[in-house]
Structure 1
Amino acid sequence: MHWLVLAISIIFEVIATSSMKYASISKNNLYLIIFAIFFSFSLAGLFYALKKIDLSIAYAMWAGCGITLISIVGFLIFKEVITINKLIFIVLIVIGVVGLKLSA
């Protein structure tokens, strides 16, 4: 159950970060409200996950998977450029997160 909550928290973090980007582009304060709500839910879920998952693992998963997913969102939705260097370092983040999980 805690892993599921962590996964949902990661998705909420990606929604929150995307909303922040939309707010900066559109100047629409509704996106800031969406950001605040989803980021709060994301942190609450991370808090819950920390009850059963080690801090080093949970936070690495939350941050690393969030970075990876938000990079994909940036590329697909916001038309951001993904260079080979960005791709390499995102893969290294994923390897690091998987390595932490496997070592636990």
Structure 2
Amino acid sequence: MSSASANDNDGQAGAIGELVKQSGYSHRRFIALFRGMTGLAPKQYARMLRFDRVIGQFATAPAQRWVELALQAGYSDQAHFNRDFLAIAGMSPQAYRRAAPASSRHVRI
């Protein structure tokens, strides 16, 4: 089995490649236009959407295990999810759970 990030990148690259094809633009031009409109490259945007799905699921089911939330959101394994969570949120999933945000997407400092 290949690494989680390779699996995710393969799926993202395929989906992004299809969008590029449908757009009629070159790959480079599509990415430039996408970045200009969103501030992120397509792969970064897809990564944020996947993370957002986890946070949204957590808000509705805070007792659910992280691994289940991660798999439902499209992560291929918990290790990849943990790396993304730390990189995006600046804390581990367990630290986020302990912070017990009163409102989803906001954590007390």
From the CA coordinates, give the structure whose radius of gyration is larger: 2
Q: Which has the higher contact order (CA 8 A, sep 6+)?
A: 1
More helix by share: 1
TM-score where L is the length of structure 1: 0.30
TM-score where L is the length of structure 2: 0.29
